[in-house]
Structure 1
């Protein structure tokens, strides 16, 4: 099923609703919730999902598991999605917080096939078997570390969200403290209490996440320079430490 509103299908008596959607470039899907659990996979493009807890970047060959009832918004960059909306009772093992997962070749093809099903697919026949295998494969997937926490308290949250939208390597802890009308020491202490990390460490990770939407269209050298790294080697080393693979593998 493609480009059909979820509300038009949510009543159907099936555990899993596959639903694909084409989004315009740089589209913001405003904050909303689903009664069902959702697997959100971008067949193309890169997404950034935000909740009260954090921000998850979802590059190609990844998806994000969204627990039922979780308020979230999604920034779409050239994205066509293949989603599954799943009755919570059918996936008692579903993550309790948003989780980015790896999507291997088999899982990707299963998602492609599922999104070609009609609203009245045969749950007892081949279609139901496809959905069953898809759920088995989902349960076996590995999580990916493409997330930063977001403080719930202002002005810290607004500063972090602004940085995610436009990472600036020249910005310092002193700049953030001044914007928050606090001393640097007070700002750092409160930020660490809210996020579990220092402002500088948080910004460094946010800059690396900002590389993910850039890598498919730009060289490692170009992305490193754009994000303020001293050299492509320095960028590659930091990226590999953070995400377990070099940028050439995720671009």
Structure 2
């Protein structure tokens, strides 16, 4: 990480810690591959990329944040960030107690209104003469953020050591051909016990979790321009069509359409 990026991250952290009022907004542009090391802050954060894709990780799981989405990060949550491509990040930091807050990270669908308010909020510190208007922007943000819809772009991790080991191995080398029987054997559980424990710990079925893990593995490669066929076969899908069907079900569009956008 370059000295300039490191200095920018440190300055942002200081500004967040020193912020007054219900909200504080900041914008930073990051080059591809930038990694923000593990940290937390005393405010809730709504993180949004005007362009580019973010991958945010916590000890409990991973979250992908494509354009048109945002990530809610509760105050005190340790997280680290990787930029999958160049990212124009805009974030608003909310003082606890000023908003009805979720207690775990969540990917949210952005609306044009919240996106516009966030961009406006970034410039508020430089417009002291517009204090009344800025208060209205802040109040509307606090009203609209809880209305953003949650999106299925989380990859939660189980706590149970056997399941966690299997999940980490799958993330390192995703393979859509892996069977439930294989996982059950490696975990030393019956199929039924594995399925029950996995859903209890992650909130997802094993099949759904593995599909999301494949999406997480595919997104950076698609963004870099790799062919859909290559990505699909590398992930263990029998054909590009099978991969495309899964991808469309998860993200609402085909891999080619997503990569173009």
> Normalising TM by the smaller chain, what interval?
0.7 to 0.9
Measure how far apart 1:58 and its partner are. Answer: 0.9
Partner of 1:168: 175
1:120/1:89 Cα in 2 relative to 1: closer, same or farther (>3 Å)? farther
Count of aligned positions = 246
Unmatched tracts of structure 1, length 5 or more: none
1:38 aligns with 2:83: no
Matches within 5 A, 1:145-160: 145-154=152-161, 156-160=163-167
Greater helix share, structure number: 2
Distance 1:163 1:119 in 2: 47
1:14 aligns with 2:3: no
Q: Secondary structure at the match of 1:242?
A: helix
Distance 2:34 2:180 in 1: 31
Measure how far apart 1:177 and its partner are. Answer: 7.1
1:101 aligns with 2:115: no
Kept after mapping to 1: 8 A contact 2:16/2:93:
no
Partner of 1:236: 244
Provide the TM-score with structure 1 as the length reference: 0.79
- Residues 18-51 of structure 1, C-alpha deviation per residue, up to 9 Å, x if partnerless? 0122334323322222110000112222122222
Q: Secondary structure at the match of 2:218?
A: helix
1:76 aligns with 2:88: no
Measure how far apart 1:121 and its partner are. Answer: 4.4
Distance 1:198 1:96 in 2: 22
CA RMSD of aligned residues (A): 3.1
Provide the TM-score with structure 2 as the length reference: 0.77
Distance 1:8 1:157 in 2: 36
1:39/1:193 Cα in 2 relative to 1: closer, same or farther (>3 Å)? closer
Kept after mapping to 2: 8 A contact 1:19/1:115:
yes
Distance 2:167 2:126 in 1: 41
